[in-house]
Amino acid sequence: MVSVDHFKYELIAQLRSAAAQGATTVVVNSTELCRSIRNANHSTQACCEAMEAEIKPGDVVIEQKSGTGMTVRYLLPRKDG
């Protein structure tokens, strides 16, 4: 079973990859993040929980649909705290 931790690990990997390529922001959609993890087809809630937990000051929730997903623009590089 796919957990919030699986999504958190994948999300952080994507944020680090984008930062390493010189990006200053990255837009992450929960549906796309869900698809990036094998057998995570129906884990939208866990995916959104991981994305929400990573939101820090300066990040922008572009879209949030109750129970069906979200899209967030994360600032890069990530700062602790």
Query: Which domain does 70 fall in, by range?
Result: 4-75
Determine, yes or no, domain membership for 81: no
Q: How big is the chain by its Cα radius of gyration, in Å?
A: 12
pTM (predicted TM-score): 0.89
> What is the model's pLDDT at position 44?
84
Determine, yes or no, domain membership for 80: no
> What is the model's pLDDT at position 80?
65
Average pLDDT over residues 66-77: 90
Contacts of 72 (CB under 8 A, 6+ apart): 27, 28, 51, 54, 55, 59, 60, 61, 62
What SS3 class is residue 50? helix
> What is the model's pLDDT at position 40?
65
Determine, yes or no, domain membership for 16: yes
Number of domains in the chain: 1
Determine, yes or no, domain membership for 68: yes
Determine, yes or no, domain membership for 71: yes
Tokens of residue 48, six digits = 């959104």
Determine, yes or no, domain membership for 21: yes
pLDDT, one tens digit per residue, over 4-48 is 999 999 999 999 999 999 999 999 999 899 888 877 666 888 899
**More confident: 69 or 79:** 69
46 and 67 Cβ atoms separated by less than 8 Å: no
Determine, yes or no, domain membership for 29: yes
